[in-house]
Amino acid sequence: DAGVTQSPTHLIKTRGQQVTLRCSPKSGHDTVSWYQQALGQGPQFIFQYYEEEERQRGNFPDRFSGHQFPNYSSELNVNALLLGDSALYLCASSLRTVYNEQFFGPGTRLTVL
Q: Which residues bind other proteins (CB under 8 A)?
A: 31, 33, 35, 40-45, 48, 55-56, 58, 88, 90, 92, 94, 99-107, 109
DSSP per residue, 66-106: EEE-TTS-EEEEE-S--GGG-EEEEEEEEETTEEEEEEE--
Q: Which residues lie across from 25 on neighbouring strands? A: none
Q: How far is the CB of 16 from other proteins (least distance, A)?
A: 26
Residue closer to other proteins (CB basis): 79 or 86: 86
Q: How far is the CB of 36 from other proteins (least distance, A)?
A: 11
Residue closer to other proteins (CB basis): 6 or 81: 6
Closest by Cα among 82, 50, 83, 47 to 65: 47
Q: How far is the CB of 85 from other proteins (least distance, A)?
A: 17
